[in-house]
Amino acid sequence: MVEHGSLTVSNFSQFLKKSAAFHCLFMMRNWRWGFLLLLHLVFLLGIEAFKFHKTQRTERISARLMAQLLNEVWGVTCFLNVAIMFEETSFLTSRKSSSGMLAGTFRELQQDEDIQQPLAKICILLDCSAGDVLEDDPVGRLKVFVYELPSKYNKKILQKDPRCLSHMFAAEIYMHRFLLSSPVRTLNPEEADWFYTPVYTTCDLTPNGLPLPFKSPRMMRSAIQLIASNWPYWNRTEGADHFFIVPHDFAACFHYQEEKAIGRGILPLLQRSTLVQTFGQRNHVCLKDGSITIPPYAPPQKMQSHFIPPDIPRSIFVYFRGLFYDVGNDPEGGYYARGARAAVWENFKDNPLFDISTEHPTTYYEDMQRAIFCLCPLGWAPWSPRLVEAVIFGCIPVIIADDIVLPFADAIPWEEIGVFVAEKDVPNLDTILTSIPPEEILRKQRLLANPSMKQAMLFPQPAQSGDAFHQILNGLARKLPHDRSVYLTPGEKILNWTAGPVGDLKPW
């Protein structure tokens, strides 16, 4: 149970139950008290739904939310109590018959803004439409100091290859730009909760646009050595109050092939820091406790330019465009995607319900908006931009990646908007999807239509409330305050600066 001082979901629910019982014992003399009791019961059901739904998504419920909820419920209850006690007012006594009085009063309740506005707020706070993104405003909850590094760590790299602005690893660039003008930024490091080091480790691209991670460890080590020698803040915690954006395939393991990434492990100097990364897989050496999993970058303007009218029917049952085999890197065909993509092709290439191909048509985004289900299988890593694209275009994501940790999983109700299929069950994919009841499909589509769901997956320019930037800040704010144990005594050292492959120790 989550507690904030003396206020908990449990004791708040008990408060409402006692209040309802009081009214039941002393105020059941006419229908009006029955109506009030009914209202209380609605609140109780809302509280139970609130408890269940929020604990499914996150263990943290803000004190502000609970205090606001209590205030709204108390305000409406008091309003109705006062109105009922003064029976002589026309609000409650102008009807001739009991049935007419009930119907008329209900209409007045519906039309009375003094009641409906608080009730609407209560519905929002109680999460009446289950599936909403958990919304918090990070401003005022944390302060971030941005290190000013030489341009060779960021701006000059970008100038050398502007393609970095549009590839799926670009979150590191846009997060830097966002923080420079964000109200959470502080120029006084003494008051900072978090420290951010802007290093563009994925902006070293091959001719076909894929990032080369081989220089990234040396680049990151160089940046850390710089801040450790020029500022005192790294040394007092050895990075425990610092966060880094590492959007590589396997994050701070800095390799695109899983076997080699596992062999490398997370860069030793980042072991105490909070890593903000696209890679997420439970029980994996490249995901350490406390990391924040984020969506890959997908160009918001580009996707928005391909929106089609929402009334166009979804005539495609299952849609996928992408590789099924990676012959160049996996000639035998069993390692890439752990065989899951190959299984999709081999089992469903001739199935009329499945529109799947390696071709990437110009109508790709439009096609996703005409599809009911969009496959989001793992590739070399469990994540891909398809997850973002599916959410943006309202196509139910079919997630095929065992043990995946999804973006902002403490805030977005993935279980309610997606379908999870185990890799071993891919041969039964047609049976699994056709057995989903139509009402469940409609419910998932309605949740995907929620603008806050889409907003949380994007890095828009300029930033907007509830977007991926703010979700990252919320993730950082939920980690505060830092435990006192992260602060080292003078001269104390935990990290091994000489650990890691020999090649990583060379100067950058």
Residue with tokens 């973006």: 407
The pTM of this model reads: 0.74
pLDDT band, residue 341 (cuts 50/70/90): very high
Single-letter amino acid code for the residue at 441:
I
pLDDT, residue 34, reads 58
Judged against a pLDDT cut of 90, whether residue 3 lies above it is answered with no
Strand (E) or helix (H) holding 438: helix 438-448
Judged against a pLDDT cut of 90, whether residue 349 lies above it is answered with yes
pLDDT band, residue 47 (cuts 50/70/90): low
* Segment 1-17 mean pLDDT: 43
- For a pLDDT cut of 90, what percent of the chain falls above it? 64
Strand (E) or helix (H) holding 347: helix 340-348
Judged against a pLDDT cut of 80, whether residue 116 lies above it is answered with no
Query: Considering the chain, what is the average pLDDT of its residues?
Result: 81
Per-residue pLDDT of 265-298, as tens digits, reads: 999 999 999 999 999 999 999 999 999 999 999 9
CB atoms within 10 A of CB 287: 23
pLDDT band, residue 87 (cuts 50/70/90): very low
pLDDT, residue 214, reads 87
Per-residue pLDDT of 129-177, as tens digits, reads: 344 576 678 889 999 999 999 999 999 999 999 999 999 999 999 999 9
pLDDT band, residue 84 (cuts 50/70/90): very low
Judged against a pLDDT cut of 70, whether residue 446 lies above it is answered with yes
Q: Which of 83-87, 105-109, 250-254 has the highest mean pLDDT?
A: 250-254
Output b/e per residue, 94-114; b: 16+ Cβ within 10 A. eeeeeeebeebbeebbeeeee
Per-residue pLDDT of 298-320, as tens digits, reads: 999 999 999 999 999 999 999 99
pLDDT, residue 457, reads 96
pLDDT, residue 37, reads 61
* Segment 462-473 mean pLDDT: 96
Of the listed ranges 8-17, 360-369, 402-411, 486-495, the least confidently predicted one is: 8-17
Q: How far apart are CA 448 and CA 266, in angstroms?
A: 34
pLDDT band, residue 471 (cuts 50/70/90): very high
pLDDT, residue 21, reads 46
Per-residue pLDDT of 228-271, as tens digits, reads: 999 999 999 999 999 999 999 999 999 988 889 999 999 999 99
H helix and E strand count, the chain: 20, 12
For residue 375, report the phi and psi dihedrals to the nearest 5 degrees: -70, 135
pLDDT, residue 33, reads 55
- For 301-422, strand residue ranges (E) read 316-321, 354-357, 371-377, 396-400, 419-420
Residue 419: which residues within 8 A CB-CB, separation 6 or more?
373, 396, 397, 398, 399, 432, 433, 436, 444
Judged against a pLDDT cut of 80, whether residue 197 lies above it is answered with yes
* Segment 27-46 mean pLDDT: 57
Judged against a pLDDT cut of 60, whether residue 71 lies above it is answered with no
pLDDT band, residue 31 (cuts 50/70/90): low
Residue bearing the bigger pLDDT, 92 or 140 = 140
Q: How far apart are CA 377 and CA 397, in angstroms?
A: 10
**295 and 468 in contact (C-beta within 8 Å)?**
yes
Judged against a pLDDT cut of 60, whether residue 70 lies above it is answered with no
**391 and 398 in contact (C-beta within 8 Å)?**
no
Q: How far apart are CA 330 and CA 205, in angstroms?
A: 21
**Please, what sign has the CA dihedral across residues 494, 280, 50, 52?**
negative
pLDDT, residue 42, reads 58
Of the listed ranges 113-117, 327-331, 437-441, 463-467, the least confidently predicted one is: 113-117
pLDDT, residue 137, reads 85
